[in-house]
Chain A
Amino acid sequence: MATTAARRFGRRLVPSVSRRRFSSSAAGDALQRTQNHPSLNLCSAINQALHIALDTDPRSYVFGEDVSFGGVFRCTLGLADQFGKARVFNTPLCEQGIVGFGIGLAAMGNRAVAEIQFADYIFPAFDQIVNEAAKFRYRSGNQFNCGGLTIRAPYGAVGHGGHYHSQSPEAFFCHVPGIKVVIPRSPSQAKGLLLSCIRDPNPIVFFEPKWLYRLAVEEVPEHDYMLPLSEAEVIREGVDITLVGWGAQLSIMEEACLDAEKDGISCELIDLKTLLPWDKETVEASVRKTGRLLISHEAPVTGGFGAEISASIVERCFLRLEAPVARICGLDTPFPLVFEPFYLPTKNKILDAIKSTVNY
């Protein structure tokens, strides 16, 4: 569990980061106003987390395609210079090999932070993640594990990425007991969550919202801090409907909440943060209060993680629900090139669904 890990690695949770600190909107209007922490974008926040991870644990390694040059998104810039090519290094172009190698490295008690260049390219490594990483501990009766493994991969739409630079594959991994799936929504969240993931004793897939790498800017505390895994966060309180999302989609959802407010609808917005294992209690408590639930993600609606949330909440809150659970997600098509705006769960689609759910 996350808490155990956090305790073991000396969790230093900053209260100022954990609550109601939601920025990451595309306009970069940071809601966070803490005392003079430097403003960072999400990419730099990731860089800082990796820096701290390498600095605080001599047995941590960062590797992946072009990583020692900074990687295609520059998230690993400067790390090789500072920590040396033996700890921060390029791999050949071979995702299956990269993850398998990371599992072995982690099995010897190291922290292996593997980068997959785009989440779209994680599939060659799917077998390693599903069959090797996730089941190592279970099938060896706890003799072996690869808990030190963290796989980072940028995911999601960027406006014009087309079929293979836009996908959100999180749901595939949420079907795999034995791994954790974590997605941050903003720079300060990204830093704290990534450090928790790297130090968590379970293998983790950490998806980074690449649309926000440069767009999301907020104040990020400079010191070493971790944010708890498997704990959702209510980032906006409301009484009429609960909205659940993660990653870049939250900023779209928040815009819809603001518009709904103008129509007198009070929305509660929850950032799930960890998708597996997820924090049912926080979502349940919120739905008990509002009686309505809307889930939104970029991945296609069918078989998306929204389906799992919907089913669980219906099981728990059946008598309390005043309307069917709404899912505003990507369409059941491959991620399109020219039709991206039609495909995506936009603010207006969410707003319409908020209204129809509230007026059901």
Chain B
Amino acid sequence: MALSRAASSPSHGGLLKPLAAAISASFRRPISTDATPITVETSVPFTAHNCEAPSRTVETTAQELVGFFRIMALMRRMEIAADSLYKAKLIRGFCHLYDGQEAVAIGMEAAITKKDSIITAYRDHCTFLGRGGTLLEVFSELMGRQAGCSKGKGGSMHFYRKEAGFYGGHGIVGAQIPLGIGLAFAQKYKKDESVSFALYGDGAANQGQLFEALNMAALWDLPAILVCENNHYGMGTAEWRAAKSPAYYKRGDYVPGLKVDGMDALAVKQACKFAKEHALKNGPIILEMDTYRYHGHSMSDPGSTYRTRDEISGVRQERDPIERIRKLLLSLDLATEKELKDTEKEVRKEVDDAIAQAKESPMPDPSELFSNVYVKGYGAESFGADRKEVRAVLP
């Protein structure tokens, strides 16, 4: 018998509240493996542009929710640890943290497979983790070590994971969007029912490249999902200061769009599932994820000069993606406070262990300065005492 419980409180607009009475303990052991379907209603409805919005009733399981809690707690802890490492000067370069936006990364993953591709900008740590990357790879890359996902050559902004279709972190705002369209074109040829997710920010939405990409994607009916992670600021600029219409889901005009509560992992999952089906059948669609970043734009931005502390704490209290899942788990009696606290302790330790391990990883070999500029054995090769000279060789 399917255990189905609708949980919603649309009139209060707050966190999810279960309608069903608490379920007895015997029903829910062991929590993390219980795959019985549960239905939950999103607290905010989807807003659609040029398409029929999907249902607010999302199907999930205890297993999935516990998993959401765990990985989001891990992401949160990871980003906070990265902050400390940066302040300790163990991480150099530019570093952009994702805490607050976790639900977008995990909700998206819950709806798609690793055959689907994802491409994003520089705020890429959690997207990488969502694609199956490890903490060791994250911290090693952040500290420029060999064990990093880009062998220590990329740093914070340049995480990649080819085997899981993660085309990575890109530094130039907006540049990754047309790349995502190219990925989608290739996928269409492969006919393997896979799609491409191209992520960009609200600031990036003002780059011309987005509109060029949208047109190509629509013209050729490509299975592309353009995900605008609207955290409401591009550096210090509030969305409304930079965009005549901050309704990013509508800005594709002839391309359908959906506005999604990006702080609700289940809403994100529902939207991405819907978008994937749509894209395979009809071509591109825009998903605007209404989300929020807690940290400043990058490590040099305290994040408090262009927005109020009240705004930040308000989001933390009312919309936090992890707290939302915690409350859901507790109210549905799928986990106890203690279990969740223990999970948080575990992820803390996992993060600490990974950092310790990453510190052991050596820096890249100096020869790596010259590798990967061109294909090895093809084209050009650097040589000379300081490798100043380049020799071209035909293969």
Chain A residues with CB under 8 Å of chain B are: 65-66, 69, 72, 90-94, 96-97, 120-121, 123-124, 159-165, 301-302, 331-334, 336-339, 342-343, 349
Our pick among B157, B208, B235, B387 for the contact of A94 (Cβ within 8 Å) is B208
In the complex, besides A161-B94, A165-B94, A332-B382, 10 extra interface pairs with C-beta distance below 8 angstroms are A90-B241, A93-B237, A162-B92, A162-B157, A331-B370, A336-B153, A337-B93, A337-B152, A338-B152, A349-B386
Q: Are B306 and A339 in contact (CB under 8 A)?
A: no
Contact across chains for B153 and A337 when beta carbons are under 8 A apart: yes
Known contacts A92-B206, A124-B207, A337-B154: A164-B370 contact under CB 8 Å: no
Chain A residues with CB under 8 Å of B382's CB are 331-333
| Contact A162 B155, CB 8 Å, known A93-B204, A93-B242, A342-B369 | yes
Bound together, the chains give a CA A342 to CA B368 distance in angstroms of 11
Q: Are B390 and A332 in contact (CB under 8 A)?
A: yes
CB neighbours of B388 from chain A (8 A): 301, 331-332
Q: Which residues of A contact B373 (CB under 8 A)?
A: 332-334
- Closest chain B residue, CB of each to CB of A70: B236
CB distance from B385 to the nearest CB of A (A): 10
Find out whether the CB atom of B93 lies under 8 angstroms from the CB atom of A96. no
Partner of A121, one of B172, B204, B241: B172
Q: Nearest chain B CB to A342's CB is how many angstroms away?
A: 6
Given contacts A93-B242, A331-B382, are A163 and B171 in contact (CB under 8 A)? yes
Q: Beyond A332-B382, A333-B373, A342-B369, is A90–B242 a contact (Cβ under 8 Å)?
A: yes
Residues of chain A contacted by B369 (CB below 8 angstroms): 331, 333, 336, 339, 342-343
- Please give the distance in Å from B106's CB to the nearest CB on chain A: 27
Q: Which B residues are CB-close (under 8 A) to A93? A: 173-174, 203-204, 206-207, 234, 237, 242
Interface string of B278-322 (1 = CB under 8 A from A): 000000000000000000000010000110000000000000000
Q: A162-B157, A331-B388, A332-B388 are in contact. Are A92 and B242 (CB under 8 A)?
A: yes
Contacts of B363 on A, CB cut-off 8 Å?
A: 338
Query: Using Cβ atoms and an 8 Å threshold, which residues of chain B touch A163?
Result: 154-155, 157-158, 171
Q: Is B100 an interface residue (CB 8 A)?
A: no
Q: How far is the CA of A162 from the CA of B306 in the complex (A)?
A: 27
Closest chain B CB from A43 CB (angstroms): 14
Distance (Å) between the CB of B326 and the closest chain A CB?
35
> 18 A-B residue contacts at CB 8 Å?
A66-B236, A92-B206, A92-B243, A93-B173, A93-B174, A93-B242, A120-B171, A123-B172, A159-B92, A162-B92, A162-B94, A164-B172, A332-B382, A337-B152, A337-B154, A338-B144, A342-B369, A349-B386
* CB 8 Å contact bits of B209-243 with A (1 = contact, 0 = none): 10000000000000000000000001111000111
Question: In whole angstroms, what is the CA distance A92 to B369 when docked?
Answer: 36
Contacts of A96 in B (CB 8 A): 208
Q: How far is the CA of A66 from the CA of B174 in the complex (A)?
A: 17
| Chain A residue with Cβ nearest B241 | A90
Closest-CB distance, A104 to chain B (whole angstroms): 16
- Contact A338/B153 with A92-B206, A331-B388 known, Cβ cut-off 8 Å: yes
**Closest 10 A-B residue pairs measured CB to CB?**
A160-B92, A164-B171, A92-B206, A162-B93, A338-B144, A92-B242, A339-B369, A93-B203, A337-B155, A332-B390
